[in-house]
Amino acid sequence: MLDMPFTIAEDVIAHYRNDGFVRLPGLLDAEELAHYGAEITRLTLALNTQVKPLEERETYDRAFLQVMNLWRSSEEARRFVFGKRLAGVAAQLLGVKAVRLYHDQSLYKEPSGGITPAHADQYYWPLATDRAVTAWIPLQTVPLEMGPLEFYAGSHRSEIGRDLPISDESEARITADMEAQGFPIDRAAYALGDVSFHGGWTFHRAGPNRSREPRSVMTMIYIDAEMTVAEPVNRMQQSDLAQWLPGLQPGDLAASPLNPLLL
């Protein structure tokens, strides 16, 4: 199913563009996803460099263990990340002909792992437009107690908070701003096979993992195949430019060897 095309209904695309996110139930086959999920989780635990116990970490590091670009570490991970089904959905949501990979990112929220503070991903990306979308793919069922991703519906239209990295400050300020502007938070459990997509400027967060099991999630960030590099406007974007777009300069097509064409 990873490479089987999936056509999105026009009302689903409209929902994404209105709310800045969409959840697609059963987009991936549960049995197939469990197979690839085992490899992704194995790689995450093997490659993770976090050694501090939870109680000694700062808020950001309490949120999850994370490892990027697993597609470069095993053929199984590569097949998953390069799957055309999810890439095709991303292209339809963005309204573009083709997409490239910006990078993948495994997010492993340990039992008793803390909140993922409210933020917008595009704060980190030196990209010329907002034609970028993240697929959030749980590798097991995610009930509310595990801390599923939560979205502020319609918040991609707000510019307040776009200058904040993930932090205690972003959680406090963005949460207050979203409530003041009337953007409702949307939270729901995920079944195995459900996938959500959210835009770069959509504010989102996740609660703590109150269960006794880890919450293992894989994400892929897709960008318009014609995306160009922007001049970094903060230190995080400077780091991203060097790490995920190596050798490129502002104005270049965002097509380094780390940004393969997926569709």
Residue 125 pLDDT class (50, 70, 90 cuts): very high
**Residue 237 and residue 126 in contact, taking contact as beta carbons nearer than 8 Å:** yes
Residue 167 pLDDT class (50, 70, 90 cuts): very high
Provide the token pair at 209. Answer: 């993992």
- Average pLDDT (84-104) is 98
Provide the token pair at 17. Answer: 């563009």
Give percent above pLDDT 90 in the chain: 97
Q: What is the mean pLDDT of the chain?
A: 97
- Average pLDDT (180-187) is 97
Question: Does residue 252 belong to any structural domain of this protein?
Answer: no
Question: Does residue 254 belong to any structural domain of this protein?
Answer: no
**Residue 219 and residue 104 in contact, taking contact as beta carbons nearer than 8 Å:** yes
pTM above 0.95, yes or no: yes
Question: Does residue 152 belong to any structural domain of this protein?
Answer: yes
Statement: residue 179 has pLDDT above 90 = yes
Domain range holding 99?
Answer: 10-244
- Average pLDDT (232-258) is 98
Encode pLDDT of 67-81 as tens digits.
Answer: 999 999 999 999 999
Question: Does residue 157 belong to any structural domain of this protein?
Answer: yes
Question: Does residue 257 belong to any structural domain of this protein?
Answer: no
pLDDT of residue 117: 97
Q: Is 58 exposed, middle or buried (0-12, 13-18, 19+ CB in 10 A)?
A: exposed
Statement: residue 29 has pLDDT above 90 = yes
Q: Domain count of the chain?
A: 1
Rounded Cα distance between 151 and 153, Å, is: 6
Query: Which residue from 140, 123, 108, 150 is spatially nearest to 23, judged by alpha carbons?
Result: 150
CATH number of the CATH domain containing 72: 2.60.120.620
Statement: residue 260 has pLDDT above 90 = yes
pLDDT of residue 60: 87
Question: Does residue 85 belong to any structural domain of this protein?
Answer: yes
Statement: residue 185 has pLDDT above 90 = yes
